[in-house]
Amino acid sequence: MIIADGNGCGRNVVKELAALEVAQSGRGYDPVYVTHYKCSWVGEEYGNATVPPTWPYVDKRGKIWDVKAIREMYRPWIELKDSGVGVHIGEMGVNRFTPHDVTLKYIESVLSVLKEHDIGFAFWDFRGGSGFFNSEREDVEYEDYEGLKLDRKMLELIQRY
């Protein structure tokens, strides 16, 4: 099986590949302000700001990001999948600086849309800044699991999908 990343950092379907026997892989990072809050590698416009995000989230242009917006964002991917092309969201997650309750609500929104359309997913990491092991989030009650710090709430959320 060949899987091609979408264009634009994996955000956009590559329509030209639809007729080939090639699956396509998207991303689960929008809105970036929510998923990349305080990340050192992005600018203020994309998350390196002082006001913590919420979920749902209203961006600078007044767009309301919620499960409905996520569904609309994935519409091209859903249509591609419905046309018979294999689709999965091959990279997603929320960095450790986004408040935990916001992170869980955002992930739930994304995963619920993907499940509605039978689209698989993969997280950026299970262990590290956006994972459920050793994320270094300061607002999580961790559980010790074989020497690792487990975010049980995040793990159980992912397991439901």
Express each pLDDT in 107-160 by its tens digit: 999 999 999 999 999 999 999 999 999 999 999 999 999 999 999 999 999 999
Counting Cα atoms < 13 Å in the Cβ hemisphere of 146 gives: 1
Q: Provide the Cα torsion 129, 135, 138, 142; round to 10°.
A: 170
Q: What is the pLDDT of residues 74-102, one digit of tens each?
A: 999 999 999 999 999 999 999 999 999 99
SS3 for 33?
A: helix
